[in-house]
Amino acid sequence: MSLEFDRKIHAALTNRKQQLAIFSATGKMKEGREAATAASVLPDYQELRTQANALKKHTIDHLDFYLEEFERNVEAAGGKVIWAKDATEVADFVLSLARERDARLIVKSKSMTSEEVDLNERLEHHGLEAVETDLGEYIIQLAGERPFHIVGPALHKDRYDVADIFEKRLGIGRETVIENQAAIARARLRQKFLAADIGMSGANFLVADSGAVVIVENEGNARLATTAPRIHVTVAGIEKVIPRAQDLAVFLKLLARSATGQAFSVYTSFLNGPRRPGEIDGPEEFYVVLLDNGRTRLLPDRGKRQSLYCIRCGACLNTCPVYRRIGGHSYPWVYAGPIGAILTPQFLGTAHEPALPFASSLCGACAEVCPVKIDIPRILLELRSEVRKSEAREKRGALRTRAEKLAFRAFAWMATHPRVYALAAPIGVALMPGWLRERFGLSEPPARTFRQLWSRR
Amino acid sequence: MSRESILHRVRTALGRLEGEAIADPPDVRLSVPAMEREARIAGVRRAVEALAGKTHRAANAEKARTLVSDMLAGRSAVASNAPFLAECGIPNLPGVAGGFPDGAVLREACASAAVGITSADYALADTGTLVLLSSREEARMISLLPPAHIAVVPAGRILTGLDELFTVLPLPARSTSSMVMITGPSRTGDIEMTLVRGVHGPGELTVIVVG
């Protein structure tokens, strides 16, 4: 375990106020999910999960086909698709677009994919203003933090924390009433929406047969970000594609119920291309950036490929006894909880934090609540085995150079020929104390060998 | 440009050839239950009210006009170009601006109006969802910028649910560049999971079912 991981966990476990906040927020979402997926409310819940899993499996198994279909349909509608292999390519595209269109202000709706590539930092570094507009995201952007939870990015902050942040960053008087805090954000952000040159969003789904970006939200900030500015840019992982518009009849019934316990989120936007002739409002330019950023690394293994089925509902976080203790900021990357424990090692490599797949009790609660039936515990086990194998490889790899290997082979021969050994050992020890010390951490060898001492006894 | 390299990586990993055909995706069974007109109307009203929205029933266009007029009580409003609103005479009510041909003027009006009035292409009985397709008749901003939204919906446009929507509208992209589904007033729970309405979109939602 890295010292940093250990330190963050310790900090989370000893922060009593935060412990309470996590427990209460995840508890509410957990209960909401249970109520909204109960057999009395949604009799075909299990059938929907099975269908969602089959649809995701089919799409990911034929991902190239659906990505190309999606691209064709976006372009037929007058939009443009950009393919980005990593964070730099996403930032480069947005920066060059902003330069060409003389854009300064970007309003953003909540997107984990954008967090993944540190887009805000990159844009701000080049003098652009990028403003998060989801209330929770706005709070943590002002606080300079990462999202604590996929669905509730600021669930670790209470009204007094928010009052401190607003006071300090917005230069306003102290306001501790939650309704008023929301009104302050609404008023501030409304100005940004109306002045922004570019609106950026993520996507919950990309619909291949329609060339559509589907965004699910409760506040209306994603609608504003994709309606008010002249240009709309979506950044989405390549795994977000689904075949047909009607597949949404399966996914939309599961997403909000699994995330917050709502039957349906307040706003679901189905956006395909820029405004058409005759339409009164909407963006004039429409871009979709398809991001790889490590996703193709997950495809070769049939078992682990299912990690890409995730629809980012956060249900596994809310139910996980580990997440509910250590919280979102203990995890080494933007994705927290059980899904983070399988995505991070696969996107960034197990060496990024070898202890991560072990930070689980394997209780299986995550797999039970997953709306697309990702077998998270099984993937955790496979990742554990990978970590162990690579550790073993590293030990073998400890014999680094050819010379070293040769030396050890010579030593093996000597050690099995006692007469040669008796002659050579004192010479070897005398010649190589520096090497033995550096390479194996051995202290200075004694003046006489064991054999010499024995023979004089 | 990373297009080719990403697609190549995907195909190599999946063991697929460029342009290789695929089997159809698994069937999605869309089920449309039989439901009487009155049950549909009751369903929408129940679901919207459960989300703290308000609902009314108007027997005809004339009654709908009176309801809207009473509800506005002198507040400024923006009405969409929906023919059904015109049929009800809503754009002619005092204090209601309408007939906006282009986005820039409309946006100014919406940014200062107290109420936005639209119709809806469909409503869903099981979740109380309004479905609005962007067109020359329905702008996106009227149901979004003002703090209150009134939707005047003909009873005949109420579908049973999402499955029926995708049965009658399998390809929304053929009709519009933007379809939005609205289920209740704008809300957030981002601070202490405390429910606050109207954080960015309208905090008040009223659905008037006509017919």
Helix/strand/coil (H, E, C) string of B92-118? HCCCEECCCCCHHHHHHHHHHCCEEEE
Contact between A300 and B207 under an 8 Å Cβ cutoff? The reply is no
Burial B2-15 (b: 16+ CB within 10 A, else e): bbeebbebbbebbe
Mean pLDDT score of chain A: 94
Local structure of A270: helix, strand or coil = strand
The residue ranges of every structural domain in chain B are 30-184+191-210
**CB proximity B34 to A under 8 Å:** no
User: Which residues in chain B have Cβ-Cβ distances shorter than 8 Å to A54?
Assistant: 26
B181–A270 C-beta distance less than 8 A: yes
ipTM above 0.95, yes or no: yes
For residues A409-430, give the mean pLDDT.
Answer: 84
**For the ranges A51-60, A72-81, A322-331, A408-417, which has the lowest average pLDDT?**
A408-417
- Give pLDDT, residue A399: 62
Considering only the beta carbons, identify the residue of B6, B20, B144 that sits closest to A220.
B144
d(CA A199, CA A228): 8
Q: Which residue has the higher pLDDT, A438 or A42?
A: A42
Torsion A99-A101-A102-A108 (CA) sign: negative
Amino acid at B154: P
User: Which residues in chain A have Cβ-Cβ distances shorter than 8 Å to B29?
Assistant: 51
Q: How confident is the model at residue A400 (pLDDT cuts 50, 70, 90)?
A: low
For residues A239-253, give the mean pLDDT.
Answer: 98
User: Which residues in chain B have Cβ-Cβ distances shorter than 8 Å to A250?
Assistant: 28
User: Which residues in chain A have Cβ-Cβ distances shorter than 8 Å to B177?
Assistant: 77, 271-276, 279, 282, 286
A64–B183 C-beta distance less than 8 A: no
User: Which residues in chain B have Cβ-Cβ distances shorter than 8 Å to A276?
Assistant: 176-177
How much is the pTM?
A: 0.91
Torsion A445-A447-A452-A453 (CA) sign: negative
**CB proximity B192 to A under 8 Å:** yes
d(CA A42, CA A279): 37
Q: What is the least distance, in Å, from the CA of A175 to any CA of chain B?
A: 13
d(CA B151, CA B67): 12
Residue by residue, DSSP assigns B4-48 as: HHHHHHHHHHHT--TT---PPPPP---------HHHHHHHHHHHH
Q: Count Cα neighbours of B169 within 13 Å in the Cβ-side half-sphere.
A: 21
Query: Cα A90 from chain centroid?
Result: 16
**CB proximity B144 to A under 8 Å:** yes
Q: Which of B186, B190, B192, B193 to mutate to test the interface with A (most CBs of A within 10 A)?
A: B190
- Give pLDDT, residue A100: 97
Considering only the beta carbons, identify the residue of A247, A276, A278 that sits closest to B28.
A247
Q: What is the least distance, in Å, from the CA of B38 to any CA of chain A?
A: 22
**CB proximity A278 to B under 8 Å:** yes
A210–B173 C-beta distance less than 8 A: yes
B191–A181 C-beta distance less than 8 A: yes
- Give pLDDT, residue A409: 86
Residue A234 has pLDDT above 90, yes or no: yes
Q: Which CATH class is domain A41-293?
A: alpha beta
Residue B8 has pLDDT above 70, yes or no: yes
Q: Which CATH class is domain B30-184+191-210?
A: alpha beta
Q: What is the least distance, in Å, from the CA of A346 to any CA of chain B?
A: 15
d(CA A151, CA A315): 9
Write out residues 70-109 of B within 8 Å (CB-CB) of A. 81, 100-103, 106-107
Residue A45 has pLDDT above 90, yes or no: yes
Contact between A237 and A295 under an 8 Å Cβ cutoff? The reply is yes
Residue A111 has pLDDT above 90, yes or no: yes
Q: Count Cα neighbours of B127 within 13 Å in the Cβ-side half-sphere.
A: 29
**CB proximity A134 to B under 8 Å:** yes
Residue A452 has pLDDT above 90, yes or no: no
- Give pLDDT, residue A441: 67
User: Which residues in chain B have Cβ-Cβ distances shorter than 8 Å to A223?
Assistant: 140, 144, 180, 200-201
Residue A433 has pLDDT above 80, yes or no: no
Local structure of A166: helix, strand or coil = helix
